[in-house]
Structures are given as C-alpha cells and as structure tokens.
C-alpha cells in the first residue's frame, strides 16, 4: 500500500498538461470519486490496524499534494490566458523580445559578395536542380569521371540526366552561354553531394564561384584577385599559397591555401601543423569549356575559382563542427547577433 501511494504521488507530481481541458481530464482521472486517489482511500479500509496511522498520514499527504498540483497546473493556464486586457497589469515591464540574427553562413556569404563587389564583380544565381550538361559535360568532365558516380551525386531515379548540382561551377556554364564577355561575376549557392554527415562533411553545403572572362586575362590577374580577397576576408597580414592541382574545367588549375589564422603559420591543430589552410580551387578556364559555351577561346581567356562558404566561416569563427550550421540551435545562432 505504501509503495502504491508513493508511486501515485510521483506520477501526479510529474504530470504536464498542454491545455485547460487536459488538466480537467487528468483531475478526473486522479481526484474524482472514481479516481485513482479515491481508490486508495477505499483500500484503506483493509489496511491492518497497526499500519493505519502511518498509511493514513501518507494518504492525506497524497491528497493534499494532488490538490496543490492540480491548482498549479490550472493556474499555469490562468496566467497564459490573460488575453483580456482588462485583467492585465499594463504597468508590468514587457517581455524581452529575442533579437534575431543572421545565420553565420549568410553573414560570410554577404561579406564575400561585398568584397568582390568592390572590384566590380556582380552576382548571379543558377538552379539547384541541374542537368548533366551544365554540371558535368560542358565543364569538360569525361563520361566516366568519378564525380558523376552515384556515391557523389544525387541523381533523379526517373531521369539520369537530372541531378542536384554538386558545385556552383554549373552557373559558369549558364552564364557563359547567355552572356557575352567581358564577364566578371560571382555565383553563390547551395550544392549537394551524397556524403555521410559528420563534423567535416554534409550532404548540403554552400559555395561561391567566381568567373572572369575577357581579352588578355592571365594567371597574374587570378593571383592578384585571390590575394586581395584573402586579405579582405581574413586580415591584411594573411598570406596565400597556390599549389598545382587538377580540375577538368581549368588548365592550369590550382588550390589556394591561406596562412593559418589561428597560429599565424607556426602550426596548430586547425592547420594540422602545416601553417596553411586550403580554402578554394581555381584556375584558367579550359578552352574546351569556353568553346562549349560558344566563346571563342582564341580571343578570350578567363579565370575561375570556387570556395566553400562553410569552410571559410569555420575558419573565421573557429567553428569545429559543420553540423552546427544545420541544426539551428539558438544557443549557437544567438552568438552571431550583431555580427552584421
């Protein structure tokens, strides 16, 4: 009997209700004449005489606590429902409204757009659902290129020509098809890859692509532009390093590292003790890509680059886990209030 009383007490103590009606239903379940508390009082008759004193006291305590609990559940709704202005204390200080904040990825995307806008780059966007031509073929990817593999790319089962773009380089093609050079543009946007989600990878992420096509554009222009970007983004003392690399749509291609912001190049966990952190891929637009879009590669040259916004944001704000960007936990997001 004592155990049953204690159990019921704990049960009632933990009750929650989402409406006034639910409070009433619960009250009937526990406190009405046929309720669970009353049932214990009925059983009290059969308690042996020597225990009656102890059990009786416990039962009274249970009854008392239950009444209090239901009063407090009810009063929750009394305060929540004071929509009647006559019943409100109008001199009470207002509830603080939480200030909204931009998402850190939006903050950094806007910074990137601003930095390039200052040297004459305009912004365009392309579709997230692409076809093979714009995402791969026109960018000089061979038919058997591993990036097309099911492991990397989300294809649409009913039509293998349709896919979720794996990079914003597709917008280079759309722009070159529709715009006569000179072209000086950046393309921010969301991209998709068939990746398992972890602290360093996600199936959705964001890139900003850059494209500059004109007569006499050279690798020097590319390097100067990227150096300007790195210093504006990460600070005047930032150094850059270009390493040779391979992308099908640029020739020559490179990857750019910036000197580690955290340790200043001495070596730390973030830069894996190399002093450098990779932030983007780049190169001179391959003549095949120009020709695929109807641009005469004997007249025009150009450079392109592509960077991951998550990567740059993680570096800038020292965020160690990519998943934080997608969980929308206000404790994380609130830290960027006032950042921009």
Q: Binding residues for ligand DAH, per CB under 6 A?
A: 167, 169, 209, 247, 250, 253, 281-283, 304-306
Which residue, 248 or 267, has its beta carbon nearer to ligand DAH? 248
Give the pair of three-digit tokens for residue 152: 């990397």
C-alpha span between 340 and 330 (Å, rounded): 17
Helix (H, G, I), strand (E, B) or coil at 224: helix
Nearest to 135 by CA among 187, 83, 172, 94: 172
Which residue, 37 or 108, has its beta carbon nearer to ligand DAH? 108
Give the pair of three-digit tokens for residue 161: 């020509």
Which residue, 109 or 167, has its beta carbon nearer to ligand DAH? 167
- CB 225 to ligand DAH: min, Å: 12
Which residue, 252 or 265, has its beta carbon nearer to ligand DAH? 252
Which residue, 69 or 193, has its beta carbon nearer to ligand DAH? 193
Which residue, 62 or 282, has its beta carbon nearer to ligand DAH? 282
Which residue, 8 or 189, has its beta carbon nearer to ligand DAH? 189
- CB 155 to ligand DAH: min, Å: 17
- CB 321 to ligand DAH: min, Å: 21
C-alpha span between 264 and 268 (Å, rounded): 9
- CB 139 to ligand DAH: min, Å: 8
Give the pair of three-digit tokens for residue 132: 């093979």
Locate tokens 């290129």: which residue? 145
- CB 283 to ligand DAH: min, Å: 4
Question: How do 204-214 and 129-131 pair as beta strands?
Answer: unpaired
Cis peptide leading into residue 182 (ω within 30°): yes
Cβ contact 169:138 at 8 Å? no
Cβ contact 261:280 at 8 Å? no
Question: How do 204-214 and 301-308 pair as beta strands?
Answer: antiparallel
| DSSP H or E segment with residue 332 | helix 330-333
- CB 209 to ligand DAH: min, Å: 5
CA dist 166 to 42, 113, 188, 240, Å? 70, 21, 13, 26
Percentages of the chain per state (helix, strand, coil), in multiples of 5: 45, 20, 35
- CB 314 to ligand DAH: min, Å: 17
Beta bridge mates, 204: 192
Give Cα 48 distance to the centre of its chain: 64
Cβ contact 85:91 at 8 Å? no
Q: How many helices (H) and strands (E) are present in the chain, helices listed first?
A: 12, 10
CA dist 91 to 78, 83, 88, 98, 226, Å? 19, 15, 9, 21, 57
Which residue, 73 or 217, has its beta carbon nearer to ligand DAH? 217
Which residue, 169 or 225, has its beta carbon nearer to ligand DAH? 169
């Amino acid at each position: 009997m004592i155990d049953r009383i204690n159990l019921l007490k704990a049960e009632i103590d933990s009750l929650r209700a989402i409406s006034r009606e639910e409070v009433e239903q619960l009250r009937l379940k526990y406190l009405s004449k046929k309720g669970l508390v009353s049932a214990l009082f009925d059983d009290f008759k059969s308690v042996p005489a020597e225990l009656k004193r102890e059990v009786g006291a416990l039962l009274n305590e249970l009854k008392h606590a239950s009444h209090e609990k239901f009063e407090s559940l009810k009063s929750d709704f009394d305060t929540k429902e004071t929509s009647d202005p006559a019943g409100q204390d109008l001199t009470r200080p207002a509830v603080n409204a939480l200030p909204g904040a931009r998402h850190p990825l939006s903050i950094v995307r806007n910074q990137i757009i601003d930095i390039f806008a200052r040297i004459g780059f305009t912004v365009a966007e392309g579709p997230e659902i692409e076809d093979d031509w714009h995402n791969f073929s026109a960018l000089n990817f061979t038919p058997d290129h591993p990036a097309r593999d099911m492991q990397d790319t989300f294809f649409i089962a009913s039509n293998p020509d349709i896919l979720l773009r794996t990079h914003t380089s597709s917008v280079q093609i759309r722009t070159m098809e529709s715009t006569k050079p000179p072209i000086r543009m950046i393309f921010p946007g969301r991209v998709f890859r068939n990746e398992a989600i972890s602290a360093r990878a996600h199936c959705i992420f964001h890139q900003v692509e850059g494209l500059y096509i004109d007569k006499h554009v050279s690798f020097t222009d590319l390097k100067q532009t990227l150096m300007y970007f790195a210093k504006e983004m990460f600070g005047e003392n930032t150094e850059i390093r270009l390493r040779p690399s391979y992308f099908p749509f640029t020739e020559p291609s490179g990857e750019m590292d910036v000197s580690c912001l955290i340790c200043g190049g001495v070596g730390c966990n973030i830069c894996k003790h190399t002093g450098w952190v990779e932030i983007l891929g780049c190169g001179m637009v391959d003549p095949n890509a120009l020709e695929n879009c109807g641009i005469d590669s004997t007249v025009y040259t150009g450079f392109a680059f592509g960077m991951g916004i998550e990567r740059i944001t993680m570096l800038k704000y020292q965020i160690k886990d990519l998943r934080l960007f997608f969980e929308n936990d206000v404790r994380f997001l609130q830290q960027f209030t006032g950042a921009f």
